[in-house]
Amino acid sequence: MRRLQLLLVQILLLLLLVEFGMTLVSDVQWAKYKARYKKRYRSDDNYHRAILTRRVQAVANHNRLYSQGKVGFRMGVTEFSDTDQGLLLRYRTAVTPPPESSIGYVAKPPGYRNYDQITGGIDWRQYGYISAVENQGTDCLSCWAFSASGALEAHLARKHSRLVPLSPKHLVDCVPEPNDGCFGGWVSVAFNYTRDHGIATKASYPYEAKQGTCRWNPQLKASALRGYVTLNNYDERELAEVVYNIGPVAVSIDHLHEEFNAYSGGILRIPACRSERINLTHSVLVVGFGTDPNWGAYWLIKNSYGTEWGESGYFRLARNANNMCGVASLPQYPLV
């Protein structure tokens, strides 16, 4: 039955390609794509080839608009271009848990600048506080672990003037419910776990795109944070102040859009993006912000899709654009 369903989907996709005059991906192109991203399919790969063909055409159509100056970002073929969003859609049903042990207000540090006093922007990468971009893998929804560990290591690096990359795999394997390893989780729960149990370094607990048995030794506890702050005002100005004065912030966004998965550079705007917390499906790390001379204000955000995606693993999301994709709906940062 499953094979028959796949065959019907393949036929429908191929008919659509013919109807809209799309050129099929050649055998050589298809072989190169599979080799580049190490693709292996359990079923007939014509199904995935048809999806890739449709998306190649969508990318071409979009980039034509970009070349005409009508949109501010480019799209490209990525490791997500050959598959539907079935795995990612499972995260859509998740409900954000209440932020436990969150501190709602923290005294402003000396020299704190209010939004109206900030000129230009900031990029915390320039200070050496941001670790290298990694790839969570297409079969593991571990973005929450990368976002949480990335925020924590950045704040510790600022405090101690030394960057020590931390282990998202430790969090994937060990953080208990309501987080669920490679099937999704929340930054707040990861922060609470780290407060109570500490976190391993990346070197001692390297990443694999799968969930395994927890290998953390509680006797090695080295608590790395004392709590965390959740910004509850849905306010991009407040978020900019915190990023500028205190450091990188973990945020969650609505990312289940082809524009996001195929993003390859520029200032990302997705008209269909939503900002309600229930629709936030992907956790990332805001490491700065700035202003583009042509397309305006943006957030500089670290993703966990590897360096071949986006701008060497980063993306710039439109800022002061009505809370684009919910970037200011659930910002959280650790207290170290």
SS (H, E, C) 283-316: EEEEEEEEEECCCEEEEEEECCECCCCCECCEEE
Query: Cα separation of 336 and 181, whole Å?
Result: 24
Instruction: Indicate the DSSP class of residue 195.
Output: H
- Tell me the β-bridge partners of 122: 289
Long-range CB contacts (< 8 A, 24+ apart) of 4-13? 6/43, 6/44, 6/47, 7/44, 9/47, 10/44, 10/46, 10/47, 10/50, 13/47, 13/50, 13/51, 13/54
SS (H, E, C) 94-123: CCCCCCCCECCCCCCCCCCCCHHHCCCCEE
Other Cβ atoms less than 10 A from the Cβ of 127: the count is: 16
Cβ atoms 199, 170 nearer than 8 A: yes
- Tell me the β-bridge partners of 289: 122, 299
Residues taking part in catalysis:
143, 282, 303
